[in-house]
């Protein structure tokens, strides 16, 4: 999962290390040269000249002698110019990984600010410093809007209704069945409601998944009212002590107006606890754009990204929360019903920056 992005983040760490090593070597050479100068000019008459040459430091930045002095005390100073190339490469890498432009910029700004600011202190290893800066920057953008999904289910009045939206073909129905399993493992019963009355075959599809995971499915005729189906799901759940109603909906209707009308009616009729947007991680920028579009048409509470197991870039997972203000809550990590993983920003970033394969 996200191996391409992981490699690229590793390259940035190496790039900065190389820059700093090069600088250390230069500073060491300078220190040696300065020591030689001192030996040669240690007569009292030469001293004022040396002082003035230290003050008029004409090579810009903190200056060679100050760098050399810093090196002698074990400090390394990273300056903006040292980061220029590595940051440029990082930007390209993020964009190639389908990270949305504004999100990539946010990450770069944060890394730049942290590395330049912090590096003026004692530095143990450059790699640690870079890792910390990347970790903070990534966690910041990924964890926008995060909330504890399970706690929200636990605290909500029962039955809890969750509506799933998103275009067809991305694994929405599979994700509903996976969610039903995920809830079951945590002691919550659920019923599936086929609010996708638009597409032929949707009912058979959700029924098959429901049978596979041993859940009841509520469905009406094709062309029926999605709000009415989900309402029946809620009625069934209330009458049978079922905790959660998982409502499928038709992904894209003709216009975002239709979509909004459909979801608005569902909201009026059953007042769902959450509306989750489902898309596939492998769609990259397209998934990010769709998340924006769906969030605009009908406010979503969070996202489920399917097929993360097949996604090398990680761009959608990195970008969606920052772009929509709504968190990624789950990742689909395979075709089995158990392959649904709660999205944990810190854990994900640790994996992205980790050394293990």
Q: Which residues pair with 191 in a beta bridge?
A: 245
Least distance to ligand GTP, CB of residue 264, Å: 21
335 binds ligand GTP (CB under 6 A): yes
Q: Which residues pair with 274 in a beta bridge?
A: 162
d(CA 217, CA 19): 60
Crossing angle of helices 126-142 and 315-324, rounded to 10°: 50
d(CA 233, CA 217): 8
Which of 156, 221, 224, 232 minimizes the C-alpha distance to 191? Answer: 232
d(CA 336, CA 31): 62
d(CA 145, CA 322): 9
Tracing tokens 């079922």 back to the chain, one arrives at 242
CA atoms 30, 36, 37, 38: torsion sign:
positive
Which stretch, 11-19, 22-30, 167-175, 322-330, contacts ligand GTP (CB under 6 A)? 167-175
The answer on whether 168 is annotated among ligand-binding residues is: yes
d(CA 266, CA 190): 18
Given 215, 307, 322, 341, the residue binding ligand GTP (CB under 6 A) = 307
Structure tokens, 297: 């048409």
Residue number, 307 or 322, with CB nearest to ligand GTP: 307
The answer on whether 172 is annotated among ligand-binding residues is: yes
Crossing angle of helices 315-324 and 285-297, rounded to 10°: 30
Given 339, 341, 345, 348, the residue binding ligand GTP (CB under 6 A) = 339
Least distance to ligand GTP, CB of residue 168, Å: 4
Residue number, 5 or 167, with CB nearest to ligand GTP: 167
Given 174, 190, 197, 275, the residue binding ligand GTP (CB under 6 A) = 174
169 binds ligand GTP (CB under 6 A): yes
Residue nearest to ligand GTP (CB): 332
304 binds ligand GTP (CB under 6 A): no
114 binds ligand GTP (CB under 6 A): no
Structure tokens, 124: 């143990």
The answer on whether 126 is annotated among ligand-binding residues is: no
Given 28, 213, 310, 353, the residue binding ligand GTP (CB under 6 A) = 310
Given 190, 306, 319, 324, the residue binding ligand GTP (CB under 6 A) = 306
**Three-state DSSP state, 224:** coil
Least distance to ligand GTP, CB of residue 230, Å: 15
The answer on whether 249 is annotated among ligand-binding residues is: yes
Least distance to ligand GTP, CB of residue 183, Å: 17
Q: Binding residues for ligand GTP, per CB under 6 A? A: 168-174, 205, 306-307, 309-310, 332-335, 339
């Amino acid at each position: 999962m996200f191996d391409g992005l992981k490699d690229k983040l590793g390259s940035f760490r190496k790039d900065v290390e190389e820059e700093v090593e090069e600088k250390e070597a230069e500073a060491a050479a300078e220190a040696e040269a300065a020591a030689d100068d001192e030996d040669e000019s240690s007569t009292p008459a030469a001293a004022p000249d040396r002082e003035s040459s230290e003050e008029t430091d004409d090579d810009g930045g903190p200056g060679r002698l100050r760098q050399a002095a810093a090196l002698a005390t074990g400090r390394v100073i990273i300056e903006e110019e040292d980061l220029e190339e590595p940051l440029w490469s990082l930007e390209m890498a993020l964009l190639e990984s389908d990270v949305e432009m504004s999100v990539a910029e946010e990450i770069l700004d944060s890394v730049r600010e942290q590395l330049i600011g912090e590096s003026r202190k004692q530095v143990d290893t450059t790699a640690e410093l870079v890792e910390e800066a990347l970790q903070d920057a990534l966690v910041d953008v990924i964890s926008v809007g995060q909330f504890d999904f399970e706690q929200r289910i636990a605290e909500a009045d029962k039955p809890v209704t969750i509506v799933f939206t998103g275009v067809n073909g991305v694994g929405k129905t599979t994700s509903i069945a996976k969610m039903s399993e995920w809830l079951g493992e945590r002691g919550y019963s659920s019923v599936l409601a086929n609010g996708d009355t638009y597409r032929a075959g949707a009912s058979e599809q959700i029924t098959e998944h429901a049978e596979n995971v041993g859940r009841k499915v509520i469905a009406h005729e094709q062309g029926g009212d999605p709000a009415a189906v989900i309402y029946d799901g809620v009625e069934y759940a209330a009458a049978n002590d079922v905790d959660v109603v998982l409502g499928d909906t038709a992904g894209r209707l003709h216009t975002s107006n239709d979509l909004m009308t459909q979801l608005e009616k569902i909201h009026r009729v059953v007042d769902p606890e959450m509306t989750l947007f489902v898309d596939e991680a492998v769609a990259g920028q397209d998934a990010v754009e769709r998340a924006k579009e769906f969030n605009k048409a009908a406010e979503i509470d969070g996202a489920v990204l399917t097929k993360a197991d097949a996604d090398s870039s990680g761009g959608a997972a990195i970008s969606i929360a920052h772009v929509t203000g709504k968190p990624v809550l789950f990742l689909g990590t395979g075709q089995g019903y158990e392959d649904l993983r709660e999205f944990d920003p810190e854990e994900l970033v640790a994996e992205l920056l980790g050394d293990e394969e």
